[in-house]
């Protein structure tokens, strides 16, 4: 049997990366497939797409245009498009790029091996962008350690329908994986040497997983159960929503030391008017209340967030309220973007009066403020001793190792390769905005 090479390109969030790892695992089970790092050497090209940013569709078609040349040279090449853009656009992709062979959705990636086989036999378009609930997880094989940290998807979809967001349309409604399936997957990884777990979900704190005895495991309980697994010494999660950041989750920060003292909690704007237009369903006061409770539960906690600048209707006053809010909360870092008009969302119908020059000005000011705060947080770490999970050898200096602090700073330091995969204490001796250097303590 002729072995075929597969090349996969992934855009987007950690959930997309997780999905791509599932695709790799599923196809590796088939002995006739190997993976290559070169598109030019591939018999099958897979593009796993993201639709969060503006002009996401155009980015997809530009990539497909480059791959078309490869298919012209070899008509037997199979091109598959998956992910959020595939779910959103469906057959429109084939209309614009009729050389595409397969279109699969975020919830049908497990059907890709069969879709590839069908195309190999019949040489006609195969499309499946349906939403079979959690079916893809039933096809996942025994997880394999790729490093000493691992992302674990515990729920998918979103019920919030924020006015700017396409996720509910591309990932479907919220649905949680069974608690025991999640714990089993993490247990296997822990036995293989994984030390840190990052729980994933579009609204991860909305997790409500069924248990073997017909009950519901809520997110706070799941974290505590993960913390009891031998070998797992640090837990993170992303992305959470303030709307469901309930007191029982805050209490976990008080009684579960393995939960990292760092939280990414997207707020999007510091103006209640804009939050209302975004249909975020919480207020700035609600967010501030959560932060106050978190600081009581975990005094050393640091918080990052997401901000959208230039949302339709955002006045200078709204923007200044956001700037004041950032100072008030004292965010450690953020992901911030100019508003992207996403077709099919309610916000796409709103009047947008701001020109791009003003949007860029606001983004610059916001990011500059966050960078100043990030540096101030880093300075506070100077001279401190940090617990670091050693992830590997530094690319810049083979004599140095690297790992991350609880607040996600990369730290480099001299050490033995035998330390890789272990937690070590490092005293911080040099600081940069987003990285640190230290010495074994």
88 in the same domain as 194: no
140 versus 36: the higher-pLDDT residue is: 36
Query: Counting runs of H as helices and runs of E as strands, what totals does the chain give?
Result: 14, 21
Residue range 103-117: average pLDDT? 91
Q: What is the pLDDT of residues 379-437, one digit of tens each?
A: 999 999 999 999 999 988 889 999 999 999 999 999 999 999 999 999 999 998 788 99
78 in the same domain as 13: yes
Q: What is the pLDDT of residues 160-199, one digit of tens each?
A: 999 999 888 888 889 999 999 999 999 999 999 999 999 9
Domain boundary among 75, 105, 128: 128
Q: What is the pLDDT of residue 200?
A: 95
269 in the same domain as 204: yes
Q: What is the pLDDT of residue 144?
A: 78
141, pLDDT greater than 70 = no
116 in the same domain as 171: no
Report the binding-site residues: 13, 50, 84, 158, 162, 165
- Between CA 138 and CA 223 the distance in angstroms is 22
3-state secondary structure of 262: strand
Residue range 72-87: average pLDDT? 92
Q: What is the pLDDT of residue 140?
A: 64
Reported confidence tier of residue 340, pLDDT bands at 50, 70, 90? confident
Does 345 reside within a domain? no
Q: What is the pLDDT of residue 331?
A: 97
Does 368 reside within a domain? no
User: Read out DSSP for 319-369?
Assistant: HHHHHHHHHHHT-SEEEEEE----TTSGGGGS-----HHHHHHHHHHHHHH
Residue range 204-233: average pLDDT? 96
Mean pLDDT of the chain: 92
Question: What's the CATH number where 255 sits?
Answer: 3.80.30.20
Q: Which of 325, 332, 405 is nearest to 371 (CA)?
A: 332
319 in the same domain as 187: yes
What one-character DSSP code corresponds to residue 433? S
Q: What is the pLDDT of residue 137?
A: 76
What is the percent of the chain where pLDDT is above 70?
98
Report the binding-site residues for [4Fe-4S] cluster: 13, 50, 84, 158, 162, 165
Does 252 reside within a domain? yes
206 in the same domain as 152: yes
Q: What is the pLDDT of residue 406?
A: 93
234 in the same domain as 169: yes
Q: What is the pLDDT of residue 139?
A: 67
3-state secondary structure of 204: helix
158 in the same domain as 86: no
Q: What is the pLDDT of residue 362?
A: 98
Domain boundary among 331, 349, 371: 331
Query: Quick check: bond before 231 cis, omega within 30?
Result: no
Give the count of beta carbons closer than 10 Å to the beta carbon of residue 239: 18
151 in the same domain as 123: no
Reported confidence tier of residue 16, pLDDT bands at 50, 70, 90? confident
Number of structural domains (the chain) is: 3
Q: What is the pLDDT of residue 172?
A: 87
- Between CA 348 and CA 312 the distance in angstroms is 9
1, pLDDT greater than 60 = no
Question: What's the CATH number where 393 sits?
Answer: 2.40.50.140
253 in the same domain as 232: yes
Q: What is the pLDDT of residues 261-304, one digit of tens each?
A: 999 999 999 999 999 999 999 999 999 999 999 999 999 999 99
Which has the minimum average pLDDT: 28-37, 285-294, 334-343? 28-37
Domain of residue 61 covers 4-128
Question: What's the CATH number where 83 sits?
Answer: 3.40.50.12160
> 378 and 415 in contact (C-beta within 8 Å)?
no
Q: What is the pLDDT of residue 418?
A: 94
Does 198 reside within a domain? yes
List alpha helices for 155-263, DSSP H: 167-171, 179-191, 219-227, 247-255
278 in the same domain as 146: yes
What is the percent of the chain where pLDDT is above 90?
74
Domain boundary among 128, 157, 174: 128
Does 355 reside within a domain? no
Q: Alpha carbon of 385 to those of 278, 300, 433, 438: distances in Å?
A: 41, 14, 18, 9
45, pLDDT greater than 70 = yes
Does 425 reside within a domain? yes
Q: What is the pLDDT of residue 430?
A: 96
Q: What is the pLDDT of residue 342?
A: 84
116 in the same domain as 140: no
Does 76 reside within a domain? yes
Residue range 198-202: average pLDDT? 95
Does 204 reside within a domain? yes
């Amino acid at each position: 049997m002729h072995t075929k090479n597969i090349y996969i390109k992934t855009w987007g969030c950690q959930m997309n990366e997780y999905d791509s790892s599932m695709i790799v695992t599923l196809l590796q089970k088939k002995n006739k497939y190997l993976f290559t790092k070169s598109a030019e050497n591939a018999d099958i090209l897979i593009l796993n797409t993201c639709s969060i940013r503006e002009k996401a569709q155009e980015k997809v078609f530009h990539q497909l245009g480059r791959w078309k040349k490869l298919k012209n040279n070899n008509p037997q090449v199979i091109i598959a498009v998956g992910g959020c853009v595939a779910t959103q656009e469906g057959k429109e992709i084939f209309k614009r790029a009729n050389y595409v062979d397969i279109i699969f959705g975020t919830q049908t990636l497990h059907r890709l091996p069969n879709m590839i086989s069908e195309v190999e036999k019949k040489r006609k378009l195969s499309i499946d962008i349906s939403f079979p609930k959690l079916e893809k997880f039933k096809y996942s094989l025994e997880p394999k350690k790729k490093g000493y940290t691992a992302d674990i998807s515990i729920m998918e979809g979103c019920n919030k329908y924020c006015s700017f967001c396409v996720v509910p349309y591309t990932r479907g409604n919220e649905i949680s994986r069974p608690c025991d399936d999640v714990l089993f997957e993490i247990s296997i990884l822990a036995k293989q040497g994984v030390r840190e777990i990052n729980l994933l979900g579009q609204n991860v704190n909305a997790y409500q997983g069924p248990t073997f005895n017909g009950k519901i495991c809520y997110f706070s309980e799941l974290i505590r159960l993960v913390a009891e697994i031998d070998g797992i010494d640090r837990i993170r999660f992303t992305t959470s929503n303030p709307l469901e950041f309930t007191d029982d989750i805050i209490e976990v920060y008080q009684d579960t030391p393995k939960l990292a003292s760092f939280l990414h909690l997207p707020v999007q704007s510091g103006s209640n008017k804009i939050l209302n237009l975004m249909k975020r369903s919480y207020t700035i006061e609600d967010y501030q209340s959560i932060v106050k409770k978190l600081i009581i539960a975990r005094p050393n906690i640091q918080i990052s967030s997401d901000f959208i600048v230039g949302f339709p209707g955002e006045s200078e006053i709204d923007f200044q309220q956001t700037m004041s809010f950032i100072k008030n909360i004292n965010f450690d870092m953020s992901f911030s973007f100019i508003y992207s008009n996403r077709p099919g969302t309610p916000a796409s119908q709103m009047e947008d009066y701001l020109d791009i020059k003003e949007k860029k000005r606001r983004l610059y000011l916001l990011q500059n403020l966050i960078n100043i705060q990030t540096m101030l947080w880093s300075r506070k770490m100077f001279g401190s001793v940090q617990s670091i999970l050693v992830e590997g050898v530094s690319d810049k200096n083979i004599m140095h190792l690297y790992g991350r602090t609880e607040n996600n700073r990369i730290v480099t330091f001299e050490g033995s390769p035998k330390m890789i995969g272990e937690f070590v204490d490092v005293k911080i001796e040099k600081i940069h905005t987003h990285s640190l250097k230290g010495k074994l303590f």
